[in-house]
């Protein structure tokens, strides 16, 4: 099953719902998992091109961050 891409009229709210869900998960997690979740949130917001639906950073740089 292929998940639909978040495009169109409600795309922004779906994307921010994803970030809100990750934030809620981080707040309820252990300190180590909080750090991982917050790093993922930072990478998504800083390095993800929502219009092209792709990460705009290389794998090595992503792994380094």
Please check whether residue 4 lies inside any domain of the structure: no
0.95 exceeded by pTM: no
- Sorting pLDDT into bands at 50, 70 and 90, what band is 57? confident
Average of per-residue pLDDT across 33-52 = 82
Q: Is 19:41 a contact under the CB 8 Å cutoff?
A: yes
Element (H, E) at 27: helix 11-28
Structural domain count, the chain: 1
Provide the domain limits for residue 30. Answer: 11-64
Please check whether residue 1 lies inside any domain of the structure: no
Please check whether residue 59 lies inside any domain of the structure: yes
pLDDT (tens digit per residue) in 38-47:
888 888 787 7
pLDDT at 12: 66
Please check whether residue 6 lies inside any domain of the structure: no
Please check whether residue 2 lies inside any domain of the structure: no
Of the ranges 14-18, 29-33, 39-43, 50-54, which is most confident?
A: 29-33
| Distance, CA of 1 to CA of 11 (rounded, Å) | 20
Q: Specify the higher pLDDT residue, 41 or 48.
A: 41
């Amino acid at each position: 099953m292929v998940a639909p891409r978040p495009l169109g009229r409600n795309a922004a709210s779906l994307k921010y719902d994803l970030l809100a869900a990750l934030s809620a998960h981080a707040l309820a997690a252990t300190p180590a998992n909080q750090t991982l979740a917050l790093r993922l949130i930072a990478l998504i917001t800083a390095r993800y091109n929502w219009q092209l639906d792709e990460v705009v950073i290389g794998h090595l740089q992503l792994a380094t961050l």
